[in-house]
Amino acid sequence: MVRLLLFSLLLLPAVLAGCTVGRVPQLAPGHYQVARTRSGALAGVADQAPGRRLYLAQPTPDSLVFYPGPQARPLRYGLADFEGLKLRHGEFDFDIFTLPFKLRASREGVPAQLNTTFNAALYLGRRLDRYHFRRTVLPTGQAVPQIRTAGFGYGGFVGLGSTIVTADLTRQHAITDYEGAVLHGGVAAIYDIRALNVGAALGFDYLLGADGPHWLYQGRPWLGVLFGLNLN
C-alpha cells in the first residue's frame, strides 16, 4: 500500500497536467512571451523582441494587440494568425494550502504512517502559465478563437498542523496519548486550475512541546498532497 501511495504521488504532476479551455477575451492584459507559433506574422513578434516580454492589451473576440515597448508600434493580429500560437506568462504566487494527508516512512519498528489530521500552510513560489491558441469552427461555419491553458508552479511553504502523539511514537516518553501541534515546512510543485491549486509536497515536521525531541518523526521527511486557494 505504501508503495502504491508513493507511486501515486510521483505520478501526480503528470495526472495534473491537463488543461482548461477559455475564450480569448478571458486572457488578462499583461506581459507575455511568445513561446511558439506557426504563423509567419506572429513569428515576427518573437523576432522583433527575442527573449523579451511583450505587453498584451485587452484581447477582443477576434484579435490580439502586442506592444513590444513604450515607443514601439503595436503589433496587431487577427483570428487568422492565432493557429499554433503559444504564450507564456510567469509571476510570483502566494497561496494558502491544506494538506489532507501526510505519508511518513516506517521508523524504528513503527509501520509507515498515513496521517490525516489538520494541516495548513502558507506557500510562496513561482508560477508559469501557458496558453495555446487555436481556432474552432462552429456548426454555423463561424470560426472562433479558443485558448487551452495550463499553469504550473514550484516554491516553498511553512505552516501549522497537528499529529497524534503516543508513547510508542515518542520512545515511551509521552505519558498519555494526545494530539500535538507541529510546525512544518518544505517544498511543493503545484498545478494551477484558475483559482484552485493542487500539488505534491515534500516537507518536514517539528513537534512542539516537551515530547518533540523524542518524537520519531521530528525533522523527518514526509510526502503529501495539497489543495489551496489562489490569493493573487
Q: What is the pLDDT, as a whole number, of residue 150?
A: 83
108 in a structural domain? yes
Mean pLDDT of 192-218: 89
Which residue range forms the structural domain that includes residue 112?
91-127+151-230
Does position 2 have pLDDT exceeding 50, yes or no?
A: no
The reported pLDDT for the residue numbered 194 is: 61
Domain assignment present for 42: no
pTM for this prediction: 0.74
3-state helix/strand/coil string of the chain: CHHHHHHHHHHHHHHCCCCEEEEHHHCCCEEEEEEECCCHHHHHHHHHCCCCCEEECCCECCEEEEECCCCCCCEEEEHHHCCCCEEEEEEEEEEEEEEEEEEECCECCECCEEECCCEEEEEEEEEEEEEEEEEEECCCCCEEEEEEEEEEEEEEEEEEEEEEECCHHHCCCCCCCEEEEEEEEEEEEEEEECCEEEEEEEEEEEECCCCHHHCCCCCCEEEEEEEEEECC
Report yes or no on 98 lying in a domain: yes
Residue 5 lies in a domain: no
pLDDT per residue as tens digits for the range 62-108: 788 888 777 777 877 776 666 677 888 888 888 889 999 899 999 99
Mean confidence (pLDDT) of the chain: 80
Of 86-90, 131-135, 182-186, the least confident: 131-135
86 neighbors 130 (Cβ within 8 angstroms): yes
Q: Does 177 map to a domain?
A: yes
CB 93 within 8 A of CB 156: no
In-domain check, residue 77: no
Question: How many folded domains does the chain comprise?
Answer: 1
In a domain, 158, yes or no: yes
Checking if the pLDDT of 130 tops 70, the result is yes
Confidence of residue 54 (pLDDT cuts 50, 70, 90): confident
Is the distance from CB of 74 to CB of 65 less than 8 angstroms? yes
Cell of 170: 515518542
pLDDT on residue 78: 74
Residues 6+ apart with CB under 8 A from 149: 19, 20, 21, 22, 129, 130, 131, 132
pLDDT band per the 50, 70, 90 thresholds, residue 15:
very low
CA atoms within 13 A on the CB side of 162: 7
Do 181 and 160 meet the contact criterion of CB atoms below 8 Å apart? Answer: yes
Give me the pLDDT at residue 14, please: 42
Beta-bridge partner residues of 207: 182
Q: What is the pLDDT of residues 157-171, one digit of tens each?
A: 999 999 999 999 999
Rounded average pLDDT over 211-226? 95
Q: Which of 42-46, 162-166, 184-188, 203-207 has the lowest mean pLDDT?
A: 42-46
Give the pLDDT of residue 187. 96
In a domain, 25, yes or no: no
Distance CA 150, CA 209 (A): 43
Amino acid letter for position 26 = Q
